Amino acid sequence: MPLPKSIATVCLSGALPDKLEAAALVGFQGVEIFENDLLTYDGSPEEVGRLCRDLGLAVTIYQPFRDFEAMPEPQRRRNLDRAERKFDTMQALGTDLILVCSNTQPATLPEAERAAADLREMAERAAKRGLRVGYEALAWGRQVSLWRQAWDIVRQADHPALGLILDSFHTLSRGDDLAGLEAVPAEKLFFLQLADAPRLSMDVLSWSRHFRLFPGQGELPVADFLRDVLRAGYAGPVSLEIFNDEFRAAPVRRIARDALRSLVLLDDQVRGAVPVPASPLPAAPTLAGIEFVEFAVDDAAREALGGFLGTLGFRRAGLHRSKAVELQRQGGVNLVLNSEPDSAAAERFEMFGPAVCAMALRVDDPDRALARARALLSPAWQERVGQGEQRIPAIRAPDGTLVYLVRTGSDIWADDFQLLPGEGGAPAFTGIDHVVQALAPGHLDGFVLFYRAVFGLDAEPVFELPDPFGIVRSRTLSAANRTVRLPLNVSESRQTGTGRFVSAYAGAGVHHIAFAAPDAAALVAAAPDAPMLEIPENYYDDLAARLGLEDAQLAALQRAHLLFDQDAQGGRFTHAYTQAFQDRFFFEVVERRGGYDQYGAANAAVRMAAQARQQKK
Ligand SMILES: O=C(O)c1ccc(O)c(O)c1
Ligand SMILES: [Mg+2]
């Protein structure tokens, strides 16, 4: 039995019933009713309570009750009256627990004894009605901002109806931890809220109110936090409380599904610390690269794209036995051009024009990978197959792109394709180095969680890349063994390369594919007809000054329109871009040396400016 899962209504968009329905639909067992969601709703608390019961949702908590403890009179008395009215609401909602967050008022008295006496009084009144009070330290509380301070007060108050509420954000945002929690009796741990966040240097209140994330989307050690809470004996619900501007604006079911996915993953990460063990998720796949990328095309686009790829040394290497599908190959890179009517590819083409519609990852065990995906709320996808043809399992990424799961080392081509004899000779790519996707604003965190959870990829911190027409935020997911690298780009501006791609083609998708070359200069030299992106002279002047390159090396880079980057350990990255194919996606030739593990972010501005110029022509 996994931990009971709850979500605060503040995480989700829409009116209160929409939030509740979405939470129930994806499989939450409980909800925190956030006060503002009730105040702004035109139904009674009884109706809300009934709706929750009809949906099978427990109301885990009613919150927050603000600025209560340690106030001077006459506020003190008024606050106790206010509490009685909230107790009425709780009873109507059908919950027995209220969250009191630590007082933020300048008038709060700096006296823990007063805070304890007030909370004791509130708990005494609550207990008369069979209700309970939980006390949470807000990271920006006036007198109480750490969980240990809140616990001191709860301990002093010493009332059975008063306990402690922990919230990972308030503790981890302060760089604090849960050392000492084992000394708190488990029955005093009333409730647990979890939130992740990116590491940002800003005031903690704004950080909390706008940038919280679901566990696994950010950079805080939420799993460690949860493990500590469970080891301290907590056995109540685990509840997500995320204040996030993008989540509030997004379709409610998508965010609810991300929310539950984050908790399913977390359940698995803390297995062993849970008193009643959760059934383990199937292990994340061991990845061994990208077997192919598939483009949705029609006949004309297939010819045009085939011609474009031909300039980089690709050739038609196979024709599907039963479908209008062609394999283009260059060394270790397979690109599939799919113009089959009445397929997922055709559906993509109808909507977007020429676009990537699928990608295939090599995994150690496709069935296990599929079972893991299913457990993480990503159902399998079954494409129509002809008789005698291979059935390659697939799931759909959040934007609908198919992700095929190909067993590492297996040959998926020989059965289904009539393979054409190759020429060879030209410098060859060794494989696909990375695939970059452009996402619509508001989609980054959901994609990060999907790839992290389903495929066990690691997420790097966000990079900000300056396009001439706005900022592109980029976050890369990659396999620990680096056989799969998936940078994700997002831009609020519709004028950036990323923004134009997303807005012009009505959605997210693969924006560029980088091919790994053992020698990028040789590859580009052997591809004189490839429409490479021109790089301004100023770039090379700066490069010479910045990295102290020799004249000959610099000239060679410039001749082939190559960009160059170097890391602190001396790893080197040499890369060049093609112009965009039909103003859509483009390709990159990349050479990594000496353990270089980045993507040439230092060069992104130059590339994006060159593309913007190209676009104007
Ligand atoms: O931002 C707030 O005010 C707020 C309110 C209630 C909470 O539980 C919390 O963590 C933060
Ligand atoms: Mg909280």
* CATH of span 5-269: 3.20.20.150
- CB of 32 within 6 A of ligand 1: the answer is no
Nearest alpha carbon to residue 173 among 193, 202, 144 = 202
Annotated binding residue 512:
yes
How far apart CA 557 and CA 545 sit, in angstroms, is 15
Q: Nearest 5 degrees, angle CA 611-CA 613-CA 617?
A: 115
Annotated binding residue 136:
yes
Token duo for residue 523: 């590859």
- Burial of residue 203 (CB within 10 Å: 0-12, 13-18, 19+) is exposed
Q: What is the pLDDT of residue 1?
A: 44
The alpha helices in 99-158, defined as continuous H runs, are 112-128, 147-157
Closest residue CA from atom 6 of ligand 1:
64
Q: Is the dihedral of CA 460, 461, 462, 463 positive or negative?
A: negative
Asked, colleague to colleague, whether 5-269 and 431-616 share their fold, the answer is no
Closest residue CA from atom 2 of ligand 1:
209
Question: Residue ranges of the domains in the chain?
Answer: 5-269, 287-419, 431-616
| Distance of CA 464 from the midpoint of ligand 1 (Å) | 29
Element (H, E) at 249: helix 245-249
| Distance of CA 565 from the midpoint of ligand 1 (Å) | 44
- CB of 136 within 6 A of ligand 1: the answer is yes
Provide the b/e sequence for 598-613 (b: ≥16 CB within 10 Å). ebbebbbebbbbbbbe
Helices (H) and strands (E) in the chain, counts: 20, 26
Residues less than 5 Å from ion ligand 2, measured at CB: 167, 193, 241
How far apart CA 270 and CA 402 sit, in angstroms, is 30
| Distance of CA 101 from the midpoint of ligand 2 (Å) | 8
Each residue of 32-46: pLDDT tens digit? Answer: 999 999 999 999 999
How far apart CA 452 and CA 285 sit, in angstroms, is 11
- CB of 64 within 6 A of ligand 1: the answer is yes
Nearest atom (ligand 1) to Cα of 64: 6
Tell which CATH classification among 3.40.190.10, 3.40.50.300, 3.40.50.2300, 3.10.180.10 matches the domain 287-419.
3.10.180.10
- E-assigned strands of 440-495? 458-459, 463-467, 470-478, 485-490
Homologous superfamily, domain 431-616 = 2,3-Dihydroxybiphenyl 1,2-Dioxygenase, domain 1 (3.10.180.10)
Q: Is the dihedral of CA 124, 125, 127, 131 positive or negative?
A: negative
Annotated binding residue 588:
yes
Q: What is the pLDDT of residue 2?
A: 63
Nearest atom (ligand 1) to Cα of 136: 8
Assign 308 to helix, strand or coil.
helix
**Rounded to whole angstroms, what are the CA distances from 593 to 190, 529, 566, 597?**
54, 26, 9, 9
- CB of 99 within 6 A of ligand 1: the answer is yes
Low-confidence ranges of the chain (pLDDT < 70): 1-2, 274-278, 423-424, 506, 617
How far apart CA 281 and CA 456 sit, in angstroms, is 12
Q: What is the pLDDT of residue 276?
A: 61
- CB of 393 within 6 A of ligand 1: the answer is no
Residues 336, 343 contacting (CB under 8 angstroms): no
- CB of 223 within 6 A of ligand 1: the answer is no
How far apart CA 293 and CA 356 sit, in angstroms, is 7
Closest residue CA from atom 5 of ligand 1:
64
| Distance of CA 450 from the midpoint of ligand 2 (Å) | 25
Residues pairing with 590 in the sheet: 516, 575
Residues 70, 117 contacting (CB under 8 angstroms): no
Token duo for residue 1: 């039995």
